[in-house]
Structure 1
Amino acid sequence: MQLYNVMSADERAKLIDEAGQKRLTLSFYAYAHINDPQKFRDDLFLEWDKLGVLGRIYVAHEGINAQLSLPAENLQTFKEYLDTYPFMKDIRLNIAVEQDNKSFLKLTVKVREKVVADGLNDDTFDVTDIGVHLKAKEFNELMDDPDTIVLDMRNHYESEIGHFEGAVTPDVTTFRESLPIIDDMLKEHKEDKKLLMYCTGGIRCEKASAYFKHQGFKNVYQLEGGIIEYTRQIKAEGLNSKFIGKNFVFDNRLGERITDDVIAHCHQCGKPCDTHTNCANEGCHLLFIQCPECAEKMHGCCSDECKDIVLLPADTQKKLRKGIRNDAMIYRKGKSDKLKVFR
């Protein structure tokens, strides 16, 4: 019984081309009490593999966080399978603003301690005691209230290319870093201010809303469905978008455009640009913003050092990166000394 992905990205991409099927990219999450995450994980993998699901899914005792793609023709069957679990019945699926058949090239379902790492070790914290959900129109209206503080619960590399106007955007690399920073920043306003939170699809601001309620904040709100659902609603209802720029996404697209505003800059020349890429040197793989001109000049690399490496034979490159673990550095981007950062 195969419970893990065995194909390479190139092999999977070829199969997608040969199938000629339209695929949908979507995401969803649910906080719930799952007694046996490993069994839940294995069951999901077996069923979703049959449906051609590809993506990155995390499960834990506290719930599920899924970002995936699947053939459009299998969407109804996929929904019916989700409905067999009470906590996922009729769950909202955030359909991507921009579609790409190759947004994901393998199916990965992992068991984690938490679906959103928060660094908290507090048995009294109830992740299901959340703030008030707001739809796009309500969110826009509350933004206009002078007693509202808008909080971006994402990381610096996400908010750099797009955010809500006037939002507090913490300079952090992980979600867990943002919680104590914001708590300390706003500790004098637990009674008099309204906290209005948002993230990509809702999962981080949902946990954050529960956390800040737990910390004693009285007026806590969150954007239902995150930026993805907000964008769908403003288009459907003809509303003005108070989100400007691009929405960063964690798949091969690395972003989907919400408005024409370009609020970021190339990290190598300073030219207006909001296109993320990963350094072409696999031993580095640093995430950064690079304009087309610098991409050509630098061969898709973040530095001259990495450019010299990618010009070497493939076997030599492989030997040089053997044993290197760079996962923690990839998303540090603006904090890397390899880049000229214009922020």
Structure 2
Amino acid sequence: MQLYNTLSAKERAALLEEAGEDRLTLSFYQYAKIGNPKLFRNHLFIAWNEMDVLGRIYVAHEGINAQLSVPAKNFETFKNFLDGIYFLKDVRLNIAIEQDLKSFLKLKVKVRKKIVADGLNDETFDVRNKGIHVDAEKFNELIEDPDTVLVDMRNHYESEIGHFQGAITPDVDTFRDSLPIIEKDLSSFKEDKNLVMYCTGGIRCEKASAYYKHKGFKKVYQLEGGIIEYARQVKNKGLENKFIGKNFVFDHRRGERISEEVIANCHQCGQPCDTHVNCANEACHLLFIQCEACAEKMENCCSSECLEVIQLPYEEQKKLRSGKHNSNKIFKKGRSEKLKFKK
């Protein structure tokens, strides 16, 4: 039984380009008790592979977190499949604002300990005792209230290119890093302030809201559906958009434009720019912001050192990134000292 991808990302990209069929990029999550995550993972892979679904999906005992690309012609089949799973029936699907044929190039369904790495011991608090979910209209009202503290639950490289006006944006690399920092910094507001949180699609706020209620915050709210759903409601209902810049997304697009403002800058030359790229040197693969001029000059690399590496024969490049020691240097998010204009 085939439970893995047989095509490389490059081969899949060529097929998608050739087919030219419309696809929908979407995401969803659900906290639920899954007794056998591995069996559930296999069930999903077999069914979705037949539907030509691509994406990155995490399954754990606590639930599922999925970012997907679904052929438009198979969307109803896909939705009916989800509705046939009792805890996924009518689950909210966050459909991307901007569509791309190649947002995902492989189907990866992985079993994890957690669907989001939060570093929390779920046995110490009631994860079902969540904050109040609010839609875009109520969210706008809340953040205008002087008794509201608005917190971005995302990481530094996400909020750097876009965030809500007036939000606290913690300078953290991971979600698990942000939880204790926010609790400490806002400890004096537990009793009398509205703690309003938001993230990309809602999943981080789902767990964080229960955690902060456990820690003594009395009035906890979360933006339902996150920035993705907020942007949709603002457009459909004609509401004022209070998000500035781009929404960082975890697929090949790396960002969706929510407003026309460019609030970030190229990490290499300092010019206004909010385009995230990965360094062309696979032994580095650093995520950083790079403008078109610097991309041409540096051949999509983050530094002169990486530019030298990509000139080497492929086998020599491969050796440079082999070994456990080197793996710790890969996939860093915009923290390199080589970046002169990093935030």
Give, in angstroms, the shift of residue 327 of structure 1: 5.7
Farther off after superposition, 303-312 or 9-18: 9-18
The aligned residue for residue 219 of structure 2 is 219
The aligned residue for residue 27 of structure 2 is 27
Compared CA separation, residues 6 and 128, structure 1 to 2 (3 A): farther
The aligned residue for residue 311 of structure 1 is 311
How many positions carry a matched residue from both structures? Answer: 342
Distance 1:300 1:330 in 2: 15
Equivalent residues in 2 for 1:85-100 (5 A)?
A: 85-100=85-100
Could you report, residue by residue, the CA deviation over 1:49-103 in whole angstroms, capped at 9, with x for unpaired residues?
0000000000101110000101001111111111111111011100001000000
The aligned residue for residue 240 of structure 1 is 240
Q: Is the Cα contact below 8 Å between 1:31 and 1:127 reproduced in 2?
A: no
> Unpaired runs of 5+ in structure 1?
none
Compared CA separation, residues 328 and 217, structure 1 to 2 (3 A): farther
Give, in angstroms, the shift of residue 328 of structure 1: 6.4
Equivalent residues in 2 for 1:260-279 (5 A)?
A: 260-279=260-279
How much is the aligned-residue C-alpha RMSD, in angstroms? 1.2
Distance 1:162 1:327 in 2: 28
Give, in angstroms, the shift of residue 338 of structure 1: 1.9
SS in 1 for 2:108: strand
Give, in angstroms, the shift of residue 276 of structure 1: 0.3
The aligned residue for residue 104 of structure 1 is 104
Misfit runs of 4+, over 3 Å: 324-329
Could you report, residue by residue, the CA deviation over 1:245-273 in whole angstroms, capped at 9, with x for unpaired residues?
00000100010100000000110111110
Query: In the alignment, does 2:46 pair up with 1:63?
Result: no
Give, in angstroms, the shift of residue 314 of structure 1: 2.1
Farther off after superposition, 4-13 or 97-106: 4-13
Query: In the alignment, does 2:153 pair up with 1:132?
Result: no
TM (norm. structure 1) is 0.97
Equivalent residues in 2 for 1:1-343 (5 A)?
A: 1-323=1-323, 325-326=326-327, 329-333=330-334, 335-343=335-343
Could you report, residue by residue, the CA deviation over 1:280-336 in whole angstroms, capped at 9, with x for unpaired residues?
000000000001111111110000000011122223222222226436652331x21
Q: Is the Cα contact below 8 Å between 1:284 and 1:326 reproduced in 2?
A: no
Q: Is the Cα contact below 8 Å between 2:284 and 2:329 reproduced in 1?
A: no
SS in 2 for 1:16: helix
SS in 2 for 1:261: coil
| 1:332 alignment partner AA | K
Could you report, residue by residue, the CA deviation over 1:193-234 in whole angstroms, capped at 9, with x for unpaired residues?
101000000000111111111111110000000000000000
Distance 1:66 1:5 in 2: 17
SS in 1 for 2:123: coil
Q: Is the Cα contact below 8 Å between 1:157 and 1:331 reproduced in 2?
A: no
> Unpaired runs of 5+ in structure 2?
none
Distance 1:338 1:127 in 2: 41
SS in 1 for 2:315: helix
